[in-house]
């Protein structure tokens, strides 16, 4: 069974940092691109960042470029999102998701999400 | 960035109704479009990819169509478990933008 479990969310002050983790199991992690998607309270979905299977390519939405860093450890079956200089508008549930193999960058498995709250 | 719009923003329907949701991209995205269903407090679930391909395990009452800039998601006969919010997402150009969502609720 494919499982993705996020952790690391919490309450942080504006300008602070958090590191989110996503533990993967049930599939060969190194064979898949991975993604983070976030959802602000009561709002829609926002694609945040995307990393290639071997970590050699990363893509970010403009609003987090220079502040968030995506990485992965294919030995530990883990995905990470280092979030620095956090802003109130980063408050959201953060989901990690697996990208399907072939047929585009579709997200076929998602974690349960971890809540990040940024306050002043 | 490509902007995605959806209409309607919400729809009230009854069990057994046919429901159609429209998604429009601000520029052509070929058929690189996916549809997701999200229920309150849960992660989204992939329904349709490449505009019209049904994800494994998704009931056949869901179907998708379109290419270029205009797409539709159709639920042929609404079931109680289908009351949810539906999002389209383009995966042709970074950033992979989502539409604002369409909430399907009970009439």
Q: How far apart are CA B57 and CA B23, in angstroms?
A: 23
Measured between alpha carbons, how far is residue A2 from residues A5, A23, A114 in Å? 10, 11, 18
Give B10-15 contacts, CB < 8 A, sequence gap 24+. B10/B102, B10/B103, B10/B104, B10/B105, B11/B102, B11/B103, B11/B104, B11/B105, B12/B105, B12/B106, B12/B107, B13/B78, B13/B104, B13/B105, B13/B106, B13/B107, B14/B78, B14/B106, B14/B107, B15/B78, B15/B79, B15/B80
* Rounded Cα distance, A92 and A117, in Å: 7
Q: How many helices (H) and strands (E) does chain B have?
A: 0, 10
Q: Work out the minimum CA distance from A46 to partner chain B, whole angstroms.
A: 6
The token pair at A91 is 């408050």
Give CA–CA dist A59/A56, Å, rounded.
10
pLDDT digits (tens, 9 = 90+) for B55-103: 999 999 999 999 999 999 999 999 999 999 999 999 999 999 999 999 9
Q: Which residues of B touch A50 (CB under 8 A)?
A: 94, 96
Query: How many angstroms separate the Cα of A49 from the Cα of each of A1, A78, B19, B31?
Result: 25, 15, 32, 22
- Asked if the model's pLDDT at residue B54 lies above 90, the reply is yes
Which of A44, A59, A107 lies nearest to residue B100, judging by beta carbons? A44
B37-60 average pLDDT score:
97
Which of A103, A105, A112 has the CB atom closest to B43's CB atom? A112
Share of residues in chain B with pLDDT > 90 (%): 97
Q: What residues does A94 pair with on adjacent strands?
A: A38, A114
Low-confidence ranges of chain A (pLDDT < 50): none
Rounded to whole angstroms, the Cα distance separating B9 from B38 reads: 14
- Residues linked to residue A117 through DSSP beta bridges, in sequence order: A11
What does the alpha-carbon distance between residue A29 and residue A73 come to, in Å, rounded to a whole number?
9
With an 8 Å Cβ cutoff, is B55 touching chain A? yes
Answer whether A1 touches B (CB < 8 Å). no
Contact call for residues A78 and A55 (beta carbons, < 8 A): no
The SS3 assignment for A62 reads helix
Contact (CB<8Å) B43/A47: no
pLDDT at A95: 98
Average per-residue pLDDT for chain B: 96
């Amino acid at each position: 069974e494919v499982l993705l479990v996020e952790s690391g969310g919490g309450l942080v002050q504006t300008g602070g940092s958090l590191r989110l983790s996503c533990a993967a199991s049930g599939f060969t992690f190194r064979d898949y691109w991975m993604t983070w998607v976030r959802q602000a309270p009561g709002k829609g979905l926002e694609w945040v960042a995307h990393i290639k299977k071997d970590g050699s390519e990363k893509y970010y939405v403009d609003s987090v470029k220079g502040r968030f860093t995506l990485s992965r450890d294919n030995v530990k079956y883990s995905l990470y999102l280092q979030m620095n200089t956090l802003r109130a508008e980063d408050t959201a549930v953060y989901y990690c998701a697996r990208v399907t193999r072939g047929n585009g960058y579709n997200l076929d498995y998602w974690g349960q999400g971890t809540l990040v709250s940024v306050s002043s | 960035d490509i902007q995605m719009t959806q209409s309607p923003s919400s729809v009230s329907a009854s069990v057994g109704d046919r429901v159609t949701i429209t998604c429009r991209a601000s520029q052509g995205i070929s058929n690189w479009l996916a549809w997701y269903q999200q229920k309150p407090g849960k992660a989204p679930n992939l329904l349709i990819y490449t505009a019209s391909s049904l994800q494994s395990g998704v009931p056949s009452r869901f179907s998708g169509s379109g290419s270029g800039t205009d797409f539709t998601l159709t639920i042929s006969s609404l079931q109680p478990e289908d009351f949810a919010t539906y999002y389209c997402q383009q995966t042709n150009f970074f950033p992979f933008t989502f539409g604002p969502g369409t909430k399907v609720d009970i009439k």
